[in-house]
Homo-oligomer: A and B are copies of this chain.
Amino acid sequence: MAALAGVSTGTVSKALNGRGSLHPDTRRRVQQAAEQLGFVANAAARSLHTGRTYTVGMITTDTIGRFSIPLLIGAEDALGAGRMSVFLCDARDDVIREQYYLRTLLSRNVDGIIVTGRRTQARAPIGAGLPVPVVYAFISSTDPDDCSVVPDEADGARRAVQHLLAAGRRRIAHITGPEHHHSATVRARAATETLAAEGLSLAAPVLYGEWSEAWGRQAADMLLSTATGVDAVFCGSDQIARGVAEALRDAGRDIPRDVALVGFDNWDVMVDASRPPLTSIDMDLEGIGRSAAELLLAAINGDPVHGPQMRPCRLIPRASTAMG
């Protein structure tokens, strides 16, 4: 490489990185030679000298990828501009695996780490006194000093309920996931409080169950047989909402005329295939991934941000709550 351009390796480095003072002709000659040979600097050698690897690790516990893929895409967007690459590690809900990956990432001298998961519930910090900055995305850390980027699920639930209220609904039910699941309780509480602020309350006690369509169908049947006059259901997930939609359909209720329906997650597979398509709350996972990556970059550059960062949700209206 250096030989082809007839200069020393030091000069090559200066030419390609725009350092030092070189004759424009020399610079051009080196660049041409590099082009011709398809020369790309060895990242290992470079990082050895600079102390940076332009690499970040992403540790996820979400095997399915439904949440972590959008987060990854968002993060890649923000990092790609800084020419950084991402090591994706799937810890599969296993603490041993997680610690193994953590050590691996540290031995690779990543510049920073993003930790994500399937649930929004706060988790124990991945490690203490780590030599690199860590940002939690989607999930948060129990250490209030750690930087976390999380969706404001209460905000999402509020938007859902207010949307239903704006559509003139007053007898609203809530069907959601397991009571021990953080997201379920946060969303349920926010829904209850939003109604309370209007002097209303839920048309039935919150129905806690599973994050499945089967539970949505079952819960809807229970609602139909016990609660009267329910004119809207806010569901803790799109899967539950779709199950509810099917049960209501089977029972001959029209959506949205008789009962309006709002889901949560805005998962395309569910909202589009449901009959009718579902109005849903979008947590903007890509945006969360992007924010997390930006905060990580800031921390790497010496401007760390501490504490949890809440990001608002969006309501995506579809036929299941169509007004008119």
Contacts and interface: CB of A to CB of B under 8 A. Distances in A.
Interface of A: 40-45, 47-48, 53, 55, 63-66, 69, 72-73, 76, 83, 85-90, 103-109, 212-214, 239, 242-243, 246, 269, 272-273, 275
A43 B239 contact: no
B85 A104 contact: yes
A212 B69 contact: no
Nearest to A53: B44
Nearest to A213: B273
Given A72-B90, A87-B86, A87-B87, A41 B107 contact: yes
* 10 tightest Cβ-Cβ pairs between the two chains A and B: A65-B69, A40-B107, A213-B273, A88-B88, A44-B44, A65-B65, A43-B108, A44-B47, A44-B48, A85-B87
Contacts of A40: 103, 106-107
B90 A108 contact: no
Given A40-B103, A65-B65, A239 B87 contact: no
Contacts of A44: 43-45, 47-48, 53, 108-109
26 contacts: A40-B107, A41-B107, A42-B48, A44-B47, A44-B48, A44-B53, A44-B109, A48-B48, A55-B108, A63-B73, A64-B69, A65-B69, A69-B69, A72-B90, A83-B104, A85-B89, A85-B104, A85-B105, A85-B108, A86-B87, A88-B88, A212-B272, A214-B272, A214-B273, A243-B273, A269-B269
B88 A86 contact: yes
A194 to B, nearest CB: 29
B106 A90 contact: no
B273 A42 contact: no
A151 B183 CA distance: 38
A87 B83 CA distance: 13
Given A44-B45, A64-B69, 18 more contacts: A40-B103, A41-B107, A42-B109, A44-B48, A44-B53, A48-B48, A72-B88, A72-B90, A76-B89, A83-B104, A85-B89, A86-B88, A87-B87, A87-B88, A213-B273, A214-B272, A239-B269, A239-B273
Contacts of A87: 85-88
A98 B167 CA distance: 46
A269 to B, nearest CB: 7
B43 A109 contact: yes
Contacts of A72: 88, 90
A41 B69 CA distance: 31
Given A239-B273, A273-B212, A273-B214, A42 B88 contact: no
